Structure 1
Amino acid sequence: MQEGTTFKYQQLDIDQSEYSAAAKAVERLMKKDIIKRVSTGVFYKPKQSAFGELRPSEEELLKPHLFLKGKRIAYITGGSLYNRMGLTTQVPKTIKVASKIKRVTTKIGKTQVKPVKSYVDVTNENYYLLEILDAIKDFKTIPDLDKKSAITLLKNKISKLTENDLSKMVRYAIKYPPRVKALLGAILEFSRKKNGIESLRKNLNPLTSYKLGITEEALPTASKWNIN
């Protein structure tokens, strides 16, 4: 096993009849601090550095819960994601994991992991698009958010997407609350990305306004999408 990666008994390439012996071997290795336990049945081999032992990332620690038979079915969202994206400096007390088919409830050390229902099926080919849409969805409630900087950050992320990714993102956005469609549309129009703008507009009530606290200075196209 590589240092800093998590594993379960199922990844040890042994028969289930050997799990009992493996558990005893794992206990011995844990007593020697060769491996550490993340949660029940999930372990990792610590990575050593000049500054001591490095703990794996949240993504790695939760990896056994984010994948099913090698396929991604969930992703980390909420405060942990927005902190990683640079949208907030606050570190949440709980980690939220989004999935359409599984409720992930566990603990990472003393940190509670709570489930969130994703709007679409999660795959390795779309979770990074859903992360952006989640940030747009929670734009108004992200703590310590500098809205102007956040718009720039989201605009930069979206501008790096391929046309195919943009098309998929627009399709997924249709499943999200109206404010997501409105803010995504405003960002796309501001970025002069025509792909999907009309589709987003058609799925919005033209009489509805969205109070997100975004000024014209932060996003010049905001008023065109009834955002204020």
Structure 2
Amino acid sequence: MFLMKITQKIEKRINKIKEGTTFKYQQLPIKSNEYSAAAKAIERLIKKGIIKRVSTGVFYKPKQTVFGELKPNEEELLKAYLFQNNKRIAYITGISLYNRMGLTTQVPRIIKIASRDKRITVSIGNIKGNPVKSYVDVTDRNYILLEILDALKDFKKIPDLDKGSGIKIISNQLKKLNTKEIKLLINCALSYPPRVRAFLGSLLEQIDLSIELKTLKKSLNPLSEYNYGIDKKILPTTTNWNMK
């Protein structure tokens, strides 16, 4: 009877979950004293084909189409590892991110997962993920900004990158940010290497002269130079930030 109640409660919650979406035990209405019964209930639901297991403690609700069952996409499969207690603690970075941004056509064999305090290693079928340390704590508010900063950090190392196109892509992302997001971006940038701060300052100055950039300027050594090999015709403001 107890197991049946738990099963019904879990099924009710799963019915509300969108097809193709991953979830963990923490997202189910389970109390601490119900975990044993919940595990049995989950196994029953897996046998019925109502849900599928991605990895230990991670499941998904299959999406049915006229072509058969569709598995969650890569982003969705990794999502369960990017959150803890429904709070974002990590984000995908490296070549996988730069491919999604349109900065490279290359697809990495191993995905990089950035987090401040947690080392996240993933192995789901053909998907492999290795941990890297983020420069600041990752949140829902800042992870998109950290993606931009990572692209600036690795700009010289991104394979097959056309620098002119790359600057346009990143500039367009910066143009979409509001004043609060720009301030948060600059604050996050202060934890990144000086070359990233200089590059960001150059881009923001080119986009909008009214943006307050004193904090970025003061954080840089006026005698230091940052070699990105960017033509001044592409980004004229590089001179103001000791970039060459």
Residues 52, 146 of structure 1: alpha-carbon distance in 2 compared, 3 angstrom cutoff? farther
Please name the residue that 1:85 is paired with: 101
1:157 deviation in Å?
0.7
Residues 50, 151 of structure 1: alpha-carbon distance in 2 compared, 3 angstrom cutoff? farther
Normalized per residue, the structure richer in helix is 2
Q: Supply the AA of the counterpart residue of 2:127.
A: T
1:115 deviation in Å?
1.1
Please name the residue that 1:180 is paired with: 196
For 2:36 and 2:233, locate their aligned partners in 1 and report how far apart those are by CA, in whole Å: 63
Q: Supply the AA of the counterpart residue of 1:49.
A: T
Deviations 1:78-122 (A, max 9, x none): 111111111111111111111112111121222221111111111
Alignment of 1:13-162 (within 5 A): 13-31=29-47, 33-162=49-178
**CA contact 2:26–2:85 (8 Å) conserved in 1:** no
Residues 34, 205 of structure 1: alpha-carbon distance in 2 compared, 3 angstrom cutoff? same
1:51 deviation in Å?
4.4
For 2:105 and 2:65, locate their aligned partners in 1 and report how far apart those are by CA, in whole Å: 25
Deviations 1:19-56 (A, max 9, x none): 44544454454455543322211111122334443332
Residues 196, 58 of structure 1: alpha-carbon distance in 2 compared, 3 angstrom cutoff? farther
CA RMSD of aligned residues (A): 2.0
1:3 deviation in Å?
0.6
For 1:39 and 1:80, locate their aligned partners in 2 and report how far apart those are by CA, in whole Å: 21
Deviations 1:110-148 (A, max 9, x none): 222111111111111111111111111111111111110
For 2:229 and 2:45, locate their aligned partners in 1 and report how far apart those are by CA, in whole Å: 54
**CA contact 1:77–1:98 (8 Å) conserved in 2:** yes
**CA contact 1:167–1:195 (8 Å) conserved in 2:** no
Larger Cα-atom Rg: 2
Of all paired residues, the percent bearing the same amino acid is 61
1:76 deviation in Å?
1.2
TM-score (norm 2): 0.85
Gaps of 5+ in 1: none
For 2:65 and 2:163, locate their aligned partners in 1 and report how far apart those are by CA, in whole Å: 37
1:176 deviation in Å?
0.1
**CA contact 2:205–2:211 (8 Å) conserved in 1:** no
Please name the residue that 1:9 is paired with: 25
For 1:146 and 1:207, locate their aligned partners in 2 and report how far apart those are by CA, in whole Å: 29
**CA contact 1:98–1:116 (8 Å) conserved in 2:** yes
1:207 deviation in Å?
2.0
SS at the partner of 1:115?
strand
**CA contact 1:8–1:43 (8 Å) conserved in 2:** yes
For 1:183 and 1:106, locate their aligned partners in 2 and report how far apart those are by CA, in whole Å: 32
Residues 128, 136 of structure 1: alpha-carbon distance in 2 compared, 3 angstrom cutoff? same
For 2:55 and 2:209, locate their aligned partners in 1 and report how far apart those are by CA, in whole Å: 44
Q: How many residues are aligned here?
A: 228
1:6 deviation in Å?
0.7
Please name the residue that 1:192 is paired with: 208
Gaps of 5+ in 2: 1-13
